Amino acid sequence: MNQNVKLKMAKFPKLLGELAHSNQFLKVFSFASLTLTLMALIILCVWASKAPQVLTLAPTGEALGQVELPTAENQIRSAVRSYLEKRYKWDPATVKKKLNEAQAFVLPASLRAYQGAVANVAKFSIEKLVSQRVYPEKIEVNLEKKTVVISGDRVTSIQGFKAAGNLQLELTFDSGPRTKENPWGLYITKEREE
């Protein structure tokens, strides 16, 4: 008698093998997830600890870059250039206006002396049709002595005839209140031409 015996495999070892295989997959997946989470957390911490990027925009919409504060010498040079523009660049039509604008760089205590000095300049310019332009080449600032030495060229036109000469000017300055006309707060106390 031949009987075919069919052997049944026990289900328990097979289930145990599948479970072990499944556990390996879950362990690898859990480790990968933990690694990815830690990397994301580290990147987030580094990114969050950086200073924020602030974009400043001009009224025209263009980005403004970060600039360093100007030095005292540069601010004084800028104020002196503005003073020279008002005090030493004029023609007969604008001489009174320009000299009055230059008063913003004169302290109130010295205003009367300044007005007396420039009254003759304005009168002479209008009567003789005199115009003047200055072109400063070098502006040397001495903060200890509170002086500015300016050298450059001066072009004077008298009734259409032009004459060029050297400009050698020493200004003594002092600081004072800042105003709309004089935002630097620089006031000329003495002028000396050579």
Instruction: Give CA–CA dist 78/73, Å, rounded.
Output: 9
- The predicted model scores a pTM of 0.66
* pLDDT at residue 10 in the model: 67
Q: What angle is formed at CA 77 by the lines to CA 76 and CA 80, rounded to 5 degrees?
A: 85
**Domain spans in the chain, listed from the N-terminal domain onward:** 14-48, 72-193
Instruction: Give CA–CA dist 171/192, Å, rounded.
Output: 6
Residues whose CB is less than 8 angstroms from the CB of residue 160 and which lie 6 or more positions away in sequence, other chains included: 129
CATH classification of 72-193, choosing from 3.40.50.970, 3.40.50.2300, 3.30.300.10, 3.10.450.230? 3.10.450.230
Q: What is the pLDDT along the chain (194 residues), one digit of tens a residue?
A: 567 767 666 676 676 677 667 667 777 788 999 999 999 999 999 999 988 887 888 888 888 877 788 888 999 999 999 999 999 999 999 999 999 999 999 988 888 888 888 888 899 999 999 999 999 999 999 999 999 999 999 999 998 899 999 999 999 999 999 999 999 999 999 899 88
* pLDDT at residue 19 in the model: 67
* pLDDT at residue 137 in the model: 94
